[in-house]
Amino acid sequence: MGFELSALHVWLIVAAILGVIEIMTVLFLALPFALGALATALFAWLTNAGVTSQIWFFIITSTIALIIIQIWFRKYLLGKTPRTLSNTEAMIGKPAAVTEEIKGMLVKGQVKIDGMVWSAISEEEEPITPGTTVYILRVDGVKVIVGRQKPEPAPPE
């Protein structure tokens, strides 16, 4: 009365090994094959099919599982990556304190943004005196372009 290893047991062992590999790697590489092995174990138990049929069933179900998982991965995991702003994009709309008078578009002054001093020009013709709060409209190289009105937020992409 020895223990007989059936096709069901073989496919369950293969599925378990692939499941452990998937858990250890977390790359979604072994998962479709573990699912294919589980499906093949069920197929072998229900149909009593031959080895060749079982192998073909394993290849087909693993391929289908691979395609479904890849579609899901792209749609739900890769598509959810939030867009991050660059440092200069993140500055747009921030308030800044004028520390050195800004005399319009041609003569630079200075502003302090988050503790850092920047060269600044204004989109307005009239001078902006020290102590005035302005808003960052754009960043142009090492200087900022400021205005007294807070800019409207850009529409999401």
> pTM for the whole thing?
0.49
- Burial-class residue 48 by CB neighbours within 10 Å (0-12, 13-18, 19+): exposed
Instruction: Using CA atoms of 144, 87, 148, 156 in order, give the dihedral in degrees to the nearest 10.
Output: 130
Nearest to 132 by CA among 108, 93, 103, 96: 96
Examine the domain organization and report whether 45 and 99 are in the same domain. Answer: no
Evaluate whether residue 126 is within a structural domain. Answer: yes
Q: Which of 29-33, 34-38, 124-128 has the lowest mean pLDDT?
A: 124-128
Q: What is the mean pLDDT of residues 97-125?
A: 88
Q: What is the mean pLDDT of residues 84-93?
A: 76
- pLDDT of 110 higher than 90: yes
Identify the CATH number of the domain in which residue 133 sits.
Answer: 2.40.50.140
Examine the domain organization and report whether 66 and 22 are in the same domain. Answer: yes
Evaluate whether residue 152 is within a structural domain. Answer: no
Examine the domain organization and report whether 42 and 103 are in the same domain. Answer: no
Evaluate whether residue 103 is within a structural domain. Answer: yes
Query: What pLDDT score was predicted for residue 155?
Result: 58
Q: Could you tell me the residue range of the domain that residue 96 belongs to?
A: 87-147
Query: What pLDDT score was predicted for residue 72?
Result: 84
Q: How many folded domains does the chain comprise?
A: 2
Evaluate whether residue 1 is within a structural domain. Answer: no
Examine the domain organization and report whether 36 and 74 are in the same domain. Answer: yes
Q: What is the mean pLDDT of residues 108-126?
A: 89
Examine the domain organization and report whether 69 and 111 are in the same domain. Answer: no
Distance of CA 25 to the CA centre of its chain: 20
- pLDDT of 81 higher than 60: no
